[in-house]
Amino acid sequence: MKFFIDTADLDEIREALSWGCLAGVTTNPSLYARTGGKLADFEAHMVKIAEMCEGLPVSAESQAKTTEDMIADGRRLSALAPNIVVKLPICAEALAATHQLASEGVRVNMTLVFSAPQALLAANAGARYISPFVGRFDDIAEDGISQLADVVTCIGNYDWSGKNVDDQVEIITASVRTPNHVTQAALMGADIATVPFGALKKCLKHPLTDQGMAAFDADWAKVVAAQ
């Protein structure tokens, strides 16, 4: 399973990239708002991220509400950099826009997906990526992981050749809150997990690793002192 980072914060992206295990970035309007970014700077900010990521897919979300406007946004956003993926929230207008954009070779990440039927509609329309949300189910005391499992199985049951420019659909596990979400997503074979930086750092840490390193350091100090 690949790791994406779910943020629009340049410092977080830079640091996560330095780890050498990042395969892409997802952003959304809330994440951009959190950076304090202005509307006029949105596209330049996306270009900055796309350039930092050197070819890795970077999802930039459209806030358009009509099919026509989504197509126009999609064309403009995807023209900003070759690795920009257009993110659209699932709805009838976005399915129609995805179908058109896919026919033009534009990659679409269909977001705010909460069910297998939504995911199947997105894939049939031509979405290149599908983002089922996990944590928001957990927030309302429902089981996000089992919903994700349904999406992974249903999409994996079919060949998506001819539906988008890459002839494949990848599932991006989204709304990830915990390392356990990452484990569960990988166990079921989800292609990608997009993880906020805080949760990514939690994935890296384990108390037994810290204890082990401290013990090795203490023992090595004895070796050094005995010289």
Binding to ligand E4P by residue 147, rule CB under 6 A? no
Binding to ligand E4P by residue 118, rule CB under 6 A? no
> 12, 175, 191, 199: which one contacts ligand E4P (CB under 6 A)?
175
Using CB under 6 A as the binding rule, the residues of this chain from 16 to 55 that contact ligand E4P are 26, 28
Q: How far is the CB of 123 from ligand E4P (least distance, A)?
A: 17
Kindly tell me the sign of the dihedral angle through the C-alpha atoms of 87, 123, 113, 24. Answer: negative
Binding to ligand E4P by residue 9, rule CB under 6 A? no
Are the C-beta atoms of residues 8 and 34 closer than 8 Å to each other? yes
Using the minimum distance from each CB to ligand E4P, give the nearer residue, 139 or 210. 139
Q: Which residue has the tokens 């690949």?
A: 2
Q: Which residue has the tokens 């988008």?
A: 164
Active site residue 87: yes
Angle between helices 197-204 and 10-18 (to 10 degrees): 30
∠ CA 28-30-36, nearest 5°, is 110
Exactly one of 38, 48, 65, 87 is catalytic; name it.
Answer: 87
Stretch that binds ligand E4P, among 113-121, 130-138, 181-189, 213-221 (CB under 6 A): 130-138
CA distances from 171 to 25, 88, 174, 214 (A): 14, 15, 9, 39
List residues binding ligand E4P (CB under 6 A).
6, 26, 28, 111, 131, 133, 135-136, 174-175, 194
